[in-house]
Structure 1
Amino acid sequence: MISIKYHSGIYTLETKLTLPISVDEAWEFFSSPENLCRMTPKHMNFRITSGKPESMYRGQIISYQLSPIPGIRTNWVTEITQVDEQKYFVDEQRFGPYSMWHHEHRFIETSEGVLMTDKVSYKLPFGFLGRFSHAVFVKKQLMHIFSFRSQVLSSLF
């Protein structure tokens, strides 16, 4: 399930996915920034540029390059701002294509495995042009990225 809502100039994307694994396994996989490469569509040419990342920790800065549009590369820098081990972590964009990007990752153990919830609050630059680009391009791209991610995770686990 993926949904996107608009409120007060901010978009919020939410996804939920249950994986038949333990919280320990989920945390081990998601707390390694290197696994982002596995969960991003190949055509986006996603790569970490800040060196081989350590396991995630509060205050960690990670830089990436990716191609949101074929032939155009952009830099993106995020900071891990909150970590509650095996429960949730938050990454926030410090530099990149969005005016704001706040991504919460939550993990809840259930009888069927782990319920993973992503909540991304984001804002695009350029006012009306940003809202227009969201309607024409950004929304579809984010839906594709998070659908791809769900497919990869379902096949891995």
Structure 2
Amino acid sequence: MPSFTLERRIPAPPEDVFDVSLDVGLHLTSQRSHGERVASGRTSGRLAEGEQITWSARHFGLRFRMTSLVFDVERPRRFRDRQVRGPFASFLHTHEFEGLDGGTLMRDTIDFRSPFGPIGRMVDVSVMRRHLIRVITERNDAISEHFA
């Protein structure tokens, strides 16, 4: 299964970075370039253990919906979300927060797999990995800007 990890130093305590990372409004702001909106679920505030939310966004010129489940919440250390319905054969996002002098090391690990077997594997290698890195980087930029 393809995966990647991104790390970012944020000049704020882990508790604050953790909370902002679960904030629906910040997520929507970070994904504005993709026309992201909430199709169902919480439309503002912080997501909690067991909540599902359906995001609708435009990628590659097409509108996609993805329903994610938030789980494994251990404030302020980590949480995970995984696709329960959507365009991927499999999608898991692990968010980790480690306290550092003067801030937090935020780590995002994405494990994903596109559908359609061998064709999906080619898409993952040639296109999807780069696209997802861009999407997560945009999100992390918004989190960094929040604390600037």
SS class of match (2:115): coil
Residue 150 (structure 1) shift: 3.3
- Quote the residue 2:11 is aligned against: 20
Provide the identity percentage: 19
Q: Is the 8 A contact 1:81 1:91 kept in 2?
A: yes
- Quote the residue 2:124 is aligned against: 134
Alignment of 1:1-20 (within 5 A): 10-20=1-11
Residue 69 (structure 1) shift: 1.4
The one of the two structures with greater contact order (alpha-carbon pairs below 8 A, sep at least 6) is: 2
The number of residues matched between the two structures is 146
Matched, 1:119 2:109: yes
TM-score, normalised by the number of residues in structure 1: 0.84
Q: Is the 8 A contact 1:53 1:62 kept in 2?
A: no
Q: Which moved more, 1:44-53 or 1:11-20?
A: 44-53
Residue 53 (structure 1) shift: 4.3
Give unpaired runs (5+ residues) of structure 2. Answer: none
Cα root mean square deviation, aligned: 1.6
Give unpaired runs (5+ residues) of structure 1. Answer: 1-9
Q: Which amino acid aligns with 1:126?
A: F
Consecutive aligned runs of 4 or more in structure 1 exceeding 4 Å deviation: none
Q: Which amino acid aligns with 1:104?
A: T
Q: Is the 8 A contact 1:44 1:66 kept in 2?
A: yes
> Once the two structures are superposed, what CA deviation does each residue of 1:53-85 show, in whole Å capped at 9, x if it has no partner?
452221101011011111x11111000121111
C-alpha spacing 1:55/1:147, structure 2 compared with 1 (3 Å)? closer
What is the rounded CA distance, in whole Å, between the counterparts of 1:118 and 1:137 in structure 2? 19
